[in-house]
Structure formats: structure tokens, C-alpha cells
Chain A
């Protein structure tokens, strides 16, 4: 039973571990080709978004899947073409090119910026594609599990993926939703579950070798934080706002200050959500790629040093992968939990709360 429950985790673990040697060998090719190992480029190449899905290099030629580029130009309208026309950033196409100076992003810019011409990049990048894959996986898994409940009836013992899903869902329900959202928790469960699984599955996909650094992108976490902030605001009640803008039982001067702080904290909450998730996942990705890069940094000094450091580096990487597997779930849980906490604060009814606060304030 225990084995079956953890089967998905173990599978992911095995795949990621097998990927360690794979990505290492991919980097080795690069080292041979350039003769000089550029750690910064490797690291940013791994964590940045891209218009290619880069897999590995063979004899200096990158094996990468070009992804569709969608650009809205305020003069030319929409244009839709494959990123292969950029020839890995070496050439311009249709007046667009990849910014060669920006190492942290593959930003599409205009070759010759005309007056007032502006472009908006809606490309299906590596991150977008990775997310779409995760969405497909998610919908497939969850609707599959749901159809089992329909098919087998409610009272039949769960089987297969239901076994993996049920403890997680009941955990979210009993540990996240119920304590934070009170008796209205059921109406927020779909959101919290979606947030949790969306982050978790994308984290796990990001840990696969060649995976995208999707959750470690501030855009993504900003989007998720915005969703939870909008839900929080949309459901906030009178009690929440009256408490925030006019805290009871406090002298006027302090009240002004307090309201200011409260409004700031209101904004800081989603920002903290955004940065926490972004930084945690990005850091994990950077640390893993750094530790692998160390093999090649040592290898650049001397071939023996590189080979000698390899076991150490692999051991560290394995440790980091295990840690990241944990972080993937923990950060998803934290995000979901804090979303629940914030919504819970916004929808809380002030039953006897006023007196409590007034009492506190009098001390």
C-alpha cells in the first residue's frame, strides 16, 4: 500500500536521478565544443525562458525544438512563425530578432525600431509549452480520477491514482481549507486544489531533465498571486474592510498609522506570495545547475580535477534533487495554505472579534 501510494513520487525521483548524468553529459559536449566553459551562460540558459526547447548539443550543434513565435505588432498586427527562423538568435526574421545583449532573457526585439512601433510577445515559449503539458497532465489525471468515482460509485474502495490523489485532497481539505476558511471552505476548495496541484505538478515537471523553469519565473508567481489576491478582494466582506480602515478602540493618531500599515500589508501579502514561490524554485534550479557546472569548472582547470569532483558533485546534486522534490510539494502547500489564510481573513465574520480586539488594544 505504502509503495503504491508513493509510486508517482518514486517514478519522478528515478527519472530525475537518471537525468543527472544525462544533463551532465550534455554539458560536457558543450565544453568540448567551445573549449571554454561559461558557467553563467549555462546557468542562465537553464533558468531563462526560451523560444526553443533545448535538449542537448551534438558536436556543437544544439538539438532543440523550435517553438512557435506569436508577436503582436502595433503596426503589422499579429505574426505567427517558427522560432527556427531565428537560427538560435543568429539571424533576424521579418524585422524581429532575439536581443543578443540580454543574457538573462530571450527577448524578441525589433531589428530597426521605427517610430512608435511596439511589439508584444505572445509566443508559446518553453515555459508556456511546459505549462500546457502540465495542464494536460492535470486535466487528464484529475478527470480520470473523477470518472472513476462516477463509474465505481462512491462506496467502492479507491484504486490506482485515486489512492495517490485522495490523501492529498483530504489533506488540503482538512489541514488547509477547513482551519482557515471556516464553514464556507467547500466553495474555495476547487481554487485551492487547483493552485496546489498547478504549482506542484509544474514544479515536478521543472525538475525533470530538460524541464522548464516555469514556477521559478516571476511572471508565473505574479499571475498566481494576482489570482489569489483577486479572489481575496472579490470575497472580502464588510467586516474585513471596516476592520482594516477603521480599527476599533485605537486612538486617532495611531489609527492613521495603523490603517496605512494595514493597506501596505494588504499589498505585501500577494507580493510575498509571489516572491516566496519564485525565489524558492529559482534558487533550487540555480543550485542544482551550479553544482553540476562545478564539474566543468573543475574540468576546465584540469581534466583530473573534473573527473575527481564528479562523484562529489553527483552526490550533492542527488541530495539537492531530493530536497527540491520536497520543496516542490512544500512550496505548493505553502502557496495554497497562504491563499486560504488570506481568503479566510477576508471572509471572516466578526463574531465577538471586536470585543477581543478592543480588549487587546486597551492593554
Chain B
């Protein structure tokens, strides 16, 4: 039973030592260690979060870059196409203009030809008319007695009236 009876001296020293070690360690060890552990844990968690964020930002940047590149490529293609179109248009316009000019020249020439032809024809017609009037005048001026004389005269005139 003596094993189960506490001793005052040992109790006193144990309590004293335990309380002393508790307060000393609380002040000089546990506080610092626990604070450091917590700080490190939050620090590590924050670092991981920051790294994740940076990685995400990087991938976003990369995506953006790719998008920009694609856009630039598209723009280049569009510009090239536009340039080609412009060139074609200018060439075509020039061609059309040239053709129109040519056509106009031809048309003008035709018109002139036509005019001169018409003028020539009119002149000819006038000449023929004058001739006919002259013939008729000659016929009328002659005394036409007989049929034979008349027809011989007409024949003569018409023979004279040959144009060339």
C-alpha cells in the first residue's frame, strides 16, 4: 500500500519543476515554435497559391499571345488580300478605261466616216438631181416632134449622162 501513498516532498518538487518548465518553455520555446510553424504553414500555402496564380497568369498570357499572333496573321492575310484586290481593281479600271477610250475613238471614227459618207452621198444625190433637171431641161428645150427624135434624144442624153 505504500506504493500508492503520495509523498509530499516529491509532490512539491514535481509541481515546482513542472510549473517552472511549463512557464519557461511557454515563454521561450512553445510560443516561438508554434508561431513559426503556423507562419511557415501559411507561408507555404501562400507560396503555393502564388505559384498557382503565376502559372495561371502565364498560361493566360500565352493564350493571349497566341490570340494576338493569330489575329496578326489574319490581319496580314486580310491586308494582302485587300492589296491584291486593289491592284486587280486598278488594273481592271485601267483596262476598262483604255477599252472605253478605244471604243470611243473607234466610234468617233465610225461616225466621221458615216458623216462623210452621208455627205458624199448627198453630194452625189444632188449631182444626180441636178443632172436629171438638166436633162429634163435639155429635153424640154428641144422640140420634140416625133417619137423617134424624142427617144433618140433621150438616148443621147442618157448616154451623155453616164456618170463616168
Contacts and interface: CB of A to CB of B under 8 A. Distances in A.
A125 B33 CA distance: 33
Contact of A218 (B5, B31, B33, B40): B5
Interface in B1-34: 2-15, 17-22, 24-26, 28-34
B18 to A, nearest CB: 6
Contacts of A226: 15
* Binding site secondary structure of chain A: helix
A233 interface: no
A263 to B, nearest CB: 23
B8 A193 contact: no
Interface string B94-130: 0000000000000000000000000000000000000
Interface string A111-125: 000000000111111
A104 to B, nearest CB: 4
A173 B25 contact: no
Contacts of A219: 6-7, 10-11, 14
A104 B8 contact: no
Contacts of B32: 146, 149-150
B13 A122 contact: yes
Contacts of A154: 36, 39-40, 43
A13 to B, nearest CB: 25
A132 B10 CA distance: 11
B61 interface: no
A169 B9 contact: no
A190 B3 CA distance: 31
A135 B37 CA distance: 23
B25 to A, nearest CB: 5
A208 interface: no
A166 B32 CA distance: 12
A189 B10 contact: no
A49 interface: yes
A146 B27 CA distance: 10
Given A189-B34, A193-B30, A139 B7 contact: no
A198 B18 contact: yes
Interface centre among B4, B12, B34, B36 (most CB of A within 10 A): B36
A138 interface: yes
Interface centre among A135, A223, A224 (most CB of B within 10 A): A223
Interface in B51-82: none
A127 B39 contact: no
Given A105-B2, A128-B10, A170-B37, A227 B15 contact: yes
A186 B8 contact: no
Contacts of B4: 218
Interface string A332-362: 0000000000000000000000000000000
Contact of B37 (A104, A124, A166, A282): A166
A145 B10 contact: no
A146 B26 CA distance: 11
Nearest to B40: A154
A219 B7 CA distance: 6
B17 A169 contact: no
A329 interface: no
A190 B33 CA distance: 10
Contact of B9 (A47, A121, A143, A227): A121
A15 to B, nearest CB: 23
Contacts of B26: 190, 194
Contact of A139 (B19, B21, B34, B44): B21
Interface of A: 47, 49, 70, 102, 104-105, 107, 120-125, 127-128, 131-132, 135, 138-139, 142-143, 145-146, 149-150, 154-155, 165-166, 169-170, 173, 186, 189-191, 193-194, 198, 217-220, 222-224, 226-227, 282
Nearest 8 interchain pairs by C-beta: A142-B29, A149-B36, A104-B2, A190-B26, A219-B6, A146-B32, A190-B30, A146-B29
29 contacts: A49-B10, A120-B8, A121-B8, A125-B9, A127-B10, A131-B13, A131-B14, A131-B17, A135-B21, A143-B25, A143-B29, A145-B29, A146-B29, A146-B33, A155-B43, A165-B33, A169-B37, A170-B37, A190-B22, A190-B26, A190-B30, A190-B31, A194-B30, A217-B10, A218-B6, A223-B11, A223-B18, A224-B18, A282-B3
Interface of B: 2-15, 17-22, 24-26, 28-34, 36-37, 39-40, 43-44
Given A122-B9, A143-B25, A219-B7, 19 more contacts: A105-B2, A105-B7, A122-B13, A124-B13, A125-B10, A131-B17, A135-B20, A135-B21, A139-B28, A143-B24, A154-B43, A169-B34, A186-B34, A189-B30, A189-B34, A190-B34, A218-B4, A219-B14, A227-B18
